[in-house]
Amino acid sequence: MNILSNFKYVFQMQFFRNIGFFIFFALIQILISIGIVIGFTYMMPDPSISTILYLATGAPTLILIITGMVILPQQIGTSKADGYLEFVRSWPVKRSVILAADTAIWILITVPAIAVSSLVAHFIFDPGYAMSWTVVPAFFLIALTSIGVGYGFSYLLPPELSLGVSQIVIFGALMFSPINFPMERLPEWLQNLHVFLPLHSMSEVMRASLSSTYFSATTGNYINLIIWCILGYGGAIFILNKK
């Protein structure tokens, strides 16, 4: 019961401290997700159903990546700069409780954008969703991995460097990761790199859960995400526990 009360306390502290930003960011996410689903089609004269399906299933993945690996590190960098992170470390609660409460907040923020983008894609393009029972576990696995990796490098690196890494992540995710297009379009060396990075596995797991008729994910994709998730959260807890 003590852990639950601590979780509730930390959740409220973190949520109400940034409630204005969270609402604003949730609205921005909705616009970004709609932009990916609709806006990217303007770059193609006659997009096929397959192309639309890649965009429709890629939008939720990108929302989770942007949240966990771009916006979250920026928030942590700000907390480091203004001393709030040191204040949080002084709380008489377990570091894992702090991370769990923060994670819950960030996951909740992503839900509206993912729901809106999926509904927009369905009613405008009817790309052929075929949701699998894995859709909820896949959502949480991708969200936890993205947030965990974001925690890991943002706690490990100085604020300026973590900001640079987050910008590289969003640039690479949008332009050079097989999230909105097939892996085969990338050069071979980049395909080999994505076998180890989590971005491709995130997109594969998300596609397989939203459109199981057309796509499938391998066991290796799930193992890849679990490993990155453990590394991210493990590193963050280790750093937070350091004196």
**pLDDT tens digits along 10-54:** 898 889 888 888 999 999 999 998 888 888 888 777 778 888 889
CB contact at 8 A, 37 and 120: yes
Q: For the chain, give the percent of residues with pLDDT over 90.
A: 50
Q: For the chain, give the percent of residues with pLDDT over 70.
A: 99
> What does pTM read for this prediction?
0.92
Measured CA to CA in angstroms, residue 212 lies from 120, 166, 204, 207, 217 at distances of 19, 31, 11, 7, 9
Residue 241 and residue 203: Cα distance in Å, rounded? Answer: 33
Which among 230, 236, 238 is positioned nearest to 152, based on CA atoms? 236
More confident residue, 205 or 158: 205
pLDDT value for 243? 52
**φ/ψ (deg, to 5) at 96:** -65, -30
The sign of the CA dihedral 176, 182, 184, 188 is positive
C-alpha atoms less than 13 angstroms from C-alpha of 227 in its C-beta half-sphere: 12
**pLDDT tens digits along 106-162:** 999 999 999 998 898 888 888 778 888 999 999 999 999 999 999 999 988 888 898
